[in-house]
Amino acid sequence: MALDEHLQKAGVDNDLIRRIMSVEYPHASRQPKQDTANFMAAAIRQCETDLDDETLNAVMFDRACCKGGFRLKNARQFAKSHPSSDMTEKLHDLGSVRYMGHPFLNRDGDIQINAVGEPDGRRMTCPCWRLGGFLPENGPMPLSYCRCCGGHFQFHYQVALGIPLRLKSVVSSMLNSEGELPCVFIFEILKPNLS
């Protein structure tokens, strides 16, 4: 699904969608993934200007990939095998599940996930399949682009832990730092709606 379709799904006004989709960006001609990276950097910067935080989250979360398959199966299996454990213990154990990152409770009581990459001095490559390893030529990728990856983690963590979460921030990402920093997300634990 293209960005404009995600914007429509989130209820964004058609004129605003046209403005976002018509942003200026460098064209690399024979490198479609490079064009995609350049376009997305420009379009997300425009989204940050034109959309409120809740709408931008809805758009990017709708773009989240890998919400099914073995990742969902692993999250469901984890939920069954850890029904009433202490949260610190659960997060420790969840960190051993493939592709779930390294989660822990931070000082604020939020869940921090060191999702992808280790800061060990080597440049890291973003696993985002949409960009195929290309970085934008028109400045760093805005951190907001990585909210779709945050949506992926939020979806699976809610299933695995059985609690509602809200993405509080994308602290750092390989895309935004050009491979210098790992991908780190912070999620607020929401109180369940009992109504």
Domain assignment of residue 82, yes or no = yes
Which residues pair with residue 120 across a beta bridge? none
Domain assignment of residue 195, yes or no = no
DSSP 112-164: EEEEE---SSS------TTTTT---SSSPPPGGGGHHHHHHHHHHHHHHH-S-
Tell me how far the alpha carbon of residue 138 is from its chain's centroid: 21
Domain assignment of residue 124, yes or no = yes
Q: How many domains does the chain have?
A: 1
* Amino acid at the residue 105: L
CATH number, position 101: 3.30.1380
Per-residue pLDDT of the chain (195 residues; tens, 9 = 90+): 899 999 999 999 999 999 999 999 988 767 888 999 999 999 999 999 999 999 999 999 999 998 999 999 999 999 999 987 789 999 999 999 988 999 999 999 999 999 876 555 556 677 888 888 888 998 899 999 999 999 999 999 999 999 999 999 999 998 898 888 889 999 999 986 655
| Cβ-proximal residues to 164 (8 Å cutoff; 6+ apart), any chain | 158, 189, 190, 191, 192, 193
> Which pLDDT does position 108 carry in this prediction?
95
Domain assignment of residue 118, yes or no = yes
Domain assignment of residue 151, yes or no = yes
Q: Which residue has the tokens 């690399």?
A: 28
Domain assignment of residue 98, yes or no = yes
Question: Do the Cβ atoms of 177 and 169 come closer than 8 Å?
Answer: no
Which residues form the domain of 127?
Answer: 3-189
Give Cα separations from 157 to 22, 43, 88, 128 (angstroms).
Answer: 35, 28, 14, 19
> Which pLDDT does position 85 carry in this prediction?
74
> Which pLDDT does position 127 carry in this prediction?
81
Domain assignment of residue 194, yes or no = no
Domain assignment of residue 41, yes or no = yes
| Cβ-proximal residues to 57 (8 Å cutoff; 6+ apart), any chain | 147, 151, 167
> Which pLDDT does position 27 carry in this prediction?
84
